[in-house]
Structure 1
Amino acid sequence: MTSKQFDTVFRAFCNRRPFRKCCIEFTSGQQVIVLHPEAIRREGDLYAMRTPDGGSVVFAADSVVRFIDPPAA
C-alpha cells in the first residue's frame, strides 16, 4: 500500500460515525487494533501508533496489506 492509499483508507475508516475500531494487517501477518481515530501519527514516510497494551508500532505504509473490521470477540 502506498502512503497515499494508506491515508485515503485510514481517513475513510476514521470518518465512520460513530467511529468503530479497525484493524491494520501487515505483510508479516501481524495485526494491530486501532481504537481511536487519532491513534496514528504520520512522521515523513513513517507512521507511529500506540497499541492498546501500551506498546508502540512504527511502520511504513508499504508494510500494510489492508484495513479490516476486527474479528468479533
Structure 2
Amino acid sequence: MAKQQLNNGDKVKITTVSNDNIVRSITDFKVVEYTIPAGCVAAYYPETNPLVPLESTADDCGTPTYKSIAVSIEKI
C-alpha cells in the first residue's frame, strides 16, 4: 500500500495485466489493509470475475486462473 501511496478506504480501479489487447477492469473497490505478502492483492469473487480472461486456465488442470492473475491498481 505504501509503495502505491494507498490508504485504508481509498477507492481503486483494478485492471488485468494481459497480452490479448482486451481491457478488463473493475472500479470502485475499497482498499483494506491486511497482512499479505508484498506485491500481492486479494479480492472476492464473483465481484472480480470480469478480470479473468475465459481462456486463461491453469496448465496442470485446465481450471480458470481465478486464484492467480496479474493486475495493476490505480487510485481513483
Do the two structures share a fold, i.e. TM-score over 0.5?
no
Higher Cα Rg, which structure = 2
Q: Which has the higher helix share?
A: 1
Q: TM-score, normalised by structure 2?
A: 0.39
Q: TM-score, normalised by structure 1?
A: 0.40
Q: Which has the higher strand share?
A: 1
